[in-house]
Amino acid sequence: MRKATSFKLSTLAGYFLQDDPSTDPDTFDYAKSNFGLIRRAYGSETEESKEDSQWQKFSREIQRLNGQAEPNTRYKVLFLGRHGEGVHNVAEKRYGTKAWDEYWSLLDGDEYGTWVDARLTDVGISQAKTARAAWEKQVKHSIPTPESYYVSPLIRCCATAQVTFDELDMPLTKPFRPVIKEANLIGMQLLRETMGEHTCDRRSPASTIATEFPQYQFEADFTEEDLLWDAKTRESNEDRNKRLFELLCDIFASDDNVFLSLTAHSGAITSILEVVGHRRFPLQTGGVIPVIVKVEGNRPRSK
Active site residues: 83, 193
The answer to whether 247 and 189 have CB atoms below 8 angstroms apart is: yes
C-alpha dist (Å) from residue 213 to 124, 169, 203, 221: 18, 20, 14, 18
Residue type for position 159: A
The string over 260-292, giving b where at least 16 C-beta atoms fall within 10 Å of a residue's C-beta and e elsewhere, is bbbbbbbbbbbbbbbbbebeebebbbbbbbbbb
C-alpha dist (Å) from residue 130 to 2, 16, 18, 164: 37, 20, 19, 8
The DSSP output letter for 193 is: S
Neighbours of 30 (CB within 10 A): 23
Alpha carbons 15 and 302: distance in angstroms, whole number: 34
Contacts of 119 (CB under 8 A, 6+ apart): 86, 87, 155, 156, 159
The answer to whether 105 and 191 have CB atoms below 8 angstroms apart is: no
Would you put residue 228 in left (φ > 0), alpha (ψ -120 to 50) or beta? alpha
Q: How far is CA 190 from the centre of its chain?
A: 11
The answer to whether 231 and 259 have CB atoms below 8 angstroms apart is: no
Contacts of 116 (CB under 8 A, 6+ apart): 108, 109, 199, 200, 202
The answer to whether 298 and 72 have CB atoms below 8 angstroms apart is: yes
